[in-house]
Every structure is written in structure tokens, then in C-alpha cells.
Structure 1
């Protein structure tokens, strides 16, 4: 089928017409019969976009230039020097300045689905966004939006951020109608959804925000995301690069999400929108894989676990306690041989990660109630003791929520649950003695301890059994 290339434009209706023509010609892959499949995991609502258009989508492991037009109008590639993205026939328009230009995305899950590339083909996807990127994207965003359609711009920074090409680019498409993040960010609600990963966001106060202000906000959010990423991974960011992260922004808000890895396995990887609860997939099997893995737990693994960073860095910094330095960069990804290869297998790699994080939390808890008397008195006089108790309680609840969907046997889950109870028992009685919690809470904890001790007594085979030693330790507390 023939296709007449239009004159470059940023007019919304003209771009949509051009996109439709490209789709009709077969140059752009868009599945008009794609459907949205909704799933709820815990308190979070997810939307899967099931589309055949993604079946042949390449990744960074795909041979260079494989994203070229293929069976489109021409086999002649059009590559900027340094670029790995073929733009031949995909041209849509300029960005309104000389630094960027628009093309249609070849593999689309929205109508339209656009890419904005830097004219310098040597700019890389692992670099942070800069003022020129925001000038181009912010202006195009304003020209595309109308009374019925709001657009979102998103950027997948680095391989672990979910990018599939190296030439620096952002993507634009109509904002998905729903999802746990979109619902929250589009509202005036201040109570956040219980996302399992660290995210940093900002709502703009009015629609007249300048691109320079957006750049300033992004820089601040990226700084926070980088600190979280460093604390979680124990790594430094290479020169002239940014930590792996996702960015998504509309005319009303911007969010930055640090990333530890691009995918849980070969069938479960996400980009910026995926971290916001909108996951594009090519097959029903991919949806089944996500659900079996656990949606919330998977996003936690892909991002930086929420609150864990706080207790690895901020808590120790505030309390002055050394605390255990238990492999801050440890993740399930470090043990690929222990990761499940089939849906019914146990995820021993994630189990070990959960155990190490829990042990780290316990070390931090232990440093507070069992500090030297002068140190304890100092904490109480400053009013910090209550804060630490609240932080510890929040951390343990966060850990429990994050690992609810851990794919291991009930026995292993029970083992982790028993581990979790110990730091709670260690902390709260001492906190009560210092007046940090109420008598009602203390009575409740004492009752729980007595029940737990009884269970340990029943479990112990003899006095040398680990349950007996555990029981003795709790009785001393």
C-alpha cells in the first residue's frame, strides 16, 4: 500500500491523521482490536494493554538497527550519525525547535504513539533529561492536548530503566484513563497509594508552568531518586550518566522512579507506564505470568523497595548507630540460578532477599532499644525515641506488605513471618518502658509474646533445639 509523506506538523489532528495513514500502510504496527484487561493486586489497580503490535518489538539484545522499517514502504534505512533508530518513513513533524523531531513509534499500544528524538544521534538514553529535552517535549505536549485528550510524555532512562534503543528519545501518547498512579496523581488526594517502590512526584499548581520550572523540578526529583538508588544498590552513577530511572509527566504532574532492573524475567519487563500500573503485553500468557509472579511484588523488585532505603541510610544516620551493613546492593537478580524458570517453581532468590532485608531491619531495631543507657537517655530527651519506634513499626509493616505475594511454599512464608515477629517483640516492650507507646499496645504485645513463647515451647524437640533457644531469649525480654 502506498503512503504519501505529509509535511511536518505538531497539530494534534494532523498528527493523528498521519498516524492513521502510517498504520493503514503497515509501516506502523497498531492493533485496533487491542483490549484492556484489569487486575487488582492488594490495593493497587493494574491495566494490561493486550496488543499484537508488540509481538515483534526488539530489545537492547536485538541486533543493531533491527527496529528499522522492515516490511514497510522502503527497505532503505535512514539513520542519523550515531543513531540506532531508523526514521525512514516514520517522520511526523518537528518539535517546535531545532534540537528534536517527531516520528511515529513502530510498535504502538496507543493512538497515536509518538517518539521525540534528539537531532544529535550521539545523545544517549542513559543520559538525564536536560533543558532542551523539556523545551521540546513541553511545547509539543501543549500543542497536542485538547479538551478531550490529555497526553503523557515518558522517558525510560538506561537499560535497567526499560529502554530498547540507545538514541536518546522520549515517547508521547494519550494518557491512560486509569491505573493506581494516574488516579492518584490526577487527583488532589494527599494520601498515597501503597506502592511497593520509591517514587518521587510533584503536582504543578497551574497550567502555566514554564519548561524551565519543569526542568528544575525534574532535577530535584532525580536527585532524590539517585540517592534512593545508591542506598539500595550500593553503586555510584558513572560520569555523564543518570541512575536508571523512569520519568512520566503531563501538564499537571511529573513523577520520577528509580529502577534496579528492567525485567523480572524474559516475559515480565516494564517501561515508565508499566511502573505506573499500565503494562503493555503481546499475549495472554504474559498476563498469566505477571499474575503468578505477583504484580505488586514484581514492581517492588523492578524499582527500589519502598522504605527499605530509609532504614538502611536515614535511620542509622539519625540514631548514630552503626547497624549491620548487610549487603545493601543485594537483590534477587544477583542469584539468577535461584530464580524460577517456570511459573510453579519457588522463588528462592527473592526469599533470600526478603530474609536479608528483614535481618537488616532487625539490626536497626536492635540498635535502638539496646543502646547504652546514656545513648537511650539522649534519644528520649531529644524526643527521637518515639520517632524511631514509629519508623520501625512502619518499616516492618512495609516489609510485610512488599513480600505478601512472595512465590514460595507456605512453610518458608511461615519462617519469614516468625522472623518478623522477633524484632517487633524486641522493640515494643522496651519502647513501652520508655513511654514511647501506650499501655494498651504494651499489653497487646505482651499477650502476643506469651502466645509466641508457648508455640516455641511446643515446637522445641529438646533444650538444644533452636526453638528452645529462641523461647529462652524471648522470656528474658
Structure 2
């Protein structure tokens, strides 16, 4: 397999593309309010963006055979950041909650619900490495399956600059203590209500070894979900799951639900809080003020959501 190499100045390319696209109206950035919650002593970042409730829906199919709209098939030049030979490219996220949120997509259509290939893992790590060479960190995540928060069938992994994930935390109580959950699973293991499988990475691992490490996490998740079944190494994944990668670690969380209902003090339903792969960063997002208020007043409600999305420990 040809080695995947990201541009050495990738952080600059991403920032320049994001700033230009935002200025020109090619993407929408949704500012957020932020709070730190500690459900069951787990340090979690909660963000609230009321404007997200007004986010436009994806265009309906225009073709007679009903082919779904695919934003990654022919990305607009305004959204394109760079090619990542031989098999991937980088584009901006059109609806960003975290500034400089970008996406790694396959050039050819590949299924989001299929097991990741060696090239996917290699391209993701190449981006992480390019950021680290510039003294920065990236959080990469992947949503696969109906319970994972996935929204597009074309294979893509999402990448968030960790420093931009910390925007607004400076003046927030315990904001300086927040860090990526995937890198502190070991210390949080006893209090996490769902199963997460993790492994450490080292800098001299080969692309094949990194992919094998991912597959080992996937097999562990299959064994936890279906003790009597043999895990596949390619094709359609047998479970919904979220996968995350940082410069130091990988984490995989099997999913059984996308979210759960939260209630106010009188027991009335307030809304469903949905979580995608950013749950492995230790972040959650809500779109209405009632949910925002309930979760800040009663962080145990967030713990109940966490308890309902995966396999119990």
C-alpha cells in the first residue's frame, strides 16, 4: 500500500480554508456556550448552540431514481483543503460547531458501515502526525452504524483540533482540567457506564500494525456484544460503534442507541440528547435551552444518557 502523507503545513491549510469559507459564506459556524459537568465524577464538556436547531436539512434527491445527495462525491473547491494520495482527500465540515473542523473522505465511494481499511487508518494518522509536528494535537473520530450518530453513507472520518475544542473554556469552572476522554479512559474506567476498548500507540508502529490494533479493538467489541460470533475483518460491520484516534491512543465504543430522553424536575420529557463519536472526547452538544438548563442543574441526567448508549460495563 502506498504510504499516506499529509502536507507538513496542514494546520495552516485548514485554518486558511476555514477562514476563507466562513468569510465567503461557504460554511456556517455555530458559536456555542460551554459548561463543564462531572456526571459520576467523569469530566465532560457540554456545549449549547441554539442556532443549530435552524440548521438546514440535506437537499432531497433530485434524480428520478432517488439517489441520495452525497456532499462528498464532488466536493466544492471552496470546501477542499488538500488531496491525501493515494485514496483520500480533506474537506471542511460545512456546519461547524468547533472551528476548523475538517473531514477525511475517500475519493471513491466506500460504505460508512464497513470495517475501516488500512488506508483509512493510515490517512487519519498522517493528519494527526502533521498536526503534532506543528506542536498541535488532533482528535479524530468515526461514526459507523445506525446508533452511532452517523449521517452520511460515504466513508469519512472527522478531525477536530484539540485547542479549538477548548475554545471558551478559559473562564469556565474546571475548564482547564478538561482533556480528551479517549486518553483518560484508564483512569475513568471504574466510573464509565459503557464499555470502551482502548489501546496505546507508539510512534514507530507501521500502518499495518495500526490497522491491526484497530481490528483488535473491533473484535473485542464484537465479542462483548456477541460472545458466540466470530468477528469479520472487512465488509459490513456487525455492530454500530464509534472509533477515536489521537497521537497516543485508539478507542472504540460499541453503540446500542444514539441517545436518550432527559426529563425536568417534574418528570416531563425535555428532549432526546444524541451523542456521536465526540462522546469519546468527553463532549456533548444540545440545541435547545431546556436541555441545556436541565443538564447543568442535574448532571446525573447526562450520566443516564451515557448509560443508555452502549454496552453496560
Fold-level similarity (TM above 0.5): yes
Could you tell me which residue of structure 2 aligns to residue 47 of structure 1? 45
TM-score scaled to structure 2, two decimals? 0.77
Aligned: 1:141 with 2:133 = no
TM-score scaled to structure 1, two decimals? 0.52
Aligned: 1:261 with 2:260 = no
Could you tell me which residue of structure 1 aligns to residue 25 of structure 2? 26
Distance across 2 between alignment mates of 1:302 and 1:92? 34
**Are the structure 2 counterparts of residues 84 and 290 from structure 1 closer, same or farther at C-alpha, using a change threshold of 3 Å?**
farther
Decide whether the 8 Å contact of 1:229 with 1:259 is kept in 2. Answer: no
Distance across 2 between alignment mates of 1:240 and 1:129? 9
Decide whether the 8 Å contact of 1:44 with 1:180 is kept in 2. Answer: no
Question: What 5-or-longer segments of structure 1 have no aligned partner?
Answer: 1-7, 67-80, 307-477
**How big is the shift at 1:281?**
2.7
Aligned: 1:222 with 2:227 = no
Higher relative contact order (CA 8 A, sep 6+): 2
Between Structure 1 and Structure 2, how many residues are aligned? Answer: 276
Distance across 2 between alignment mates of 1:248 and 1:27? 28
**How big is the shift at 1:248?**
0.5
**Are the structure 2 counterparts of residues 83 and 221 from structure 1 closer, same or farther at C-alpha, using a change threshold of 3 Å?**
farther
Distance across 1 between alignment mates of 2:243 and 2:182? 16
Could you tell me which residue of structure 1 aligns to residue 311 of structure 2? 304
Could you tell me which residue of structure 2 aligns to residue 241 of structure 1? 236
Aligned: 1:118 with 2:106 = yes
Distance across 2 between alignment mates of 1:21 and 1:53? 21
Distance across 2 between alignment mates of 1:267 and 1:35? 19
Could you tell me which residue of structure 2 aligns to residue 203 of structure 1? 200
**How big is the shift at 1:130?**
1.0
**How big is the shift at 1:170?**
0.4
Question: What 5-or-longer segments of structure 2 have no aligned partner?
Answer: 1-5, 167-174, 262-270
Distance across 1 between alignment mates of 2:27 and 2:16? 13
**How big is the shift at 1:294?**
1.2
**Are the structure 2 counterparts of residues 42 and 13 from structure 1 closer, same or farther at C-alpha, using a change threshold of 3 Å?**
same
**Are the structure 2 counterparts of residues 274 and 183 from structure 1 closer, same or farther at C-alpha, using a change threshold of 3 Å?**
closer
**How big is the shift at 1:100?**
0.9
Distance across 2 between alignment mates of 1:57 and 1:132? 32
Distance across 2 between alignment mates of 1:225 and 1:108? 30
Distance across 2 between alignment mates of 1:55 and 1:279? 15
Distance across 2 between alignment mates of 1:270 and 1:168? 19
**How big is the shift at 1:221?**
0.6
Distance across 1 between alignment mates of 2:61 and 2:130? 31
Distance across 1 between alignment mates of 2:250 and 2:60? 32
Could you tell me which residue of structure 2 aligns to residue 94 of structure 1? 83
Q: SS of 1:14's equivalent? A: helix
Decide whether the 8 Å contact of 2:47 with 2:285 is kept in 1. Answer: yes
